[in-house]
Amino acid sequence: MPSTRLRPLLGCLALLLATPLAPNAPVLSQTTQELAFQRGRAVNLARMRAEVINGGLGVYRPAACMYERSGGDCLVRSDAEGHLFRFYGGGPGWAQLGQPPTVESEILVSPDGRTVVSVLYNGPPRSQPQVQPGL
């Protein structure tokens, strides 16, 4: 008998397998899928760069939006110049505890999401944001 933690997953899997695929279901174009993949890769790269330059995960955590696949509210723009992310960070648990951020980062990643083009800013917050709950 499966553990209680696996039951919901098995139920979802059974439902998925029992549901026939709709023949006319909309399919994302290859271009749309590739752009989403590049944006996901870019947010991961920007987040990891901020973690490194701010001392590592033992002393720094970026805002929750940097854990969203698309970058959420941290994504300022995405165009031919690349993906620009602006986000706050602080010590572990800063957002969950309602503490103000101690760092603001602004990082530009290449359009394909493979390289950091520039760290435009990494320092004290230039303005105080509204504190939002974290992960």
Is the per-residue pLDDT at 18 higher than 80? no
The answer to pTM > 0.85 is no
The mean pLDDT value for 42-69 works out to: 96
Give the pLDDT score at 31: 83
Quote the CA–CA distance of 14 and 9 in Å, as a whole number.
9
Read off the pLDDT of residues 50-59 as tens digits, 9 standing for 90 and up.
Answer: 999 999 999 9
Helix then strand then coil, % of the chain, to nearest 5? 30, 25, 45
What pLDDT score does 135 carry?
47
Please give the mean pLDDT across all residues of the chain: 84
Give the integer Cα–Cα distance in Å for 38 and 43: 9
37: phi > 0 → left, psi -120 to 50 → alpha, else beta; which?
alpha
User: Best-predicted range by mean pLDDT among 23-27, 63-67, 126-130?
Assistant: 63-67
Domain ranges, ordered by start, for the chain: 30-123
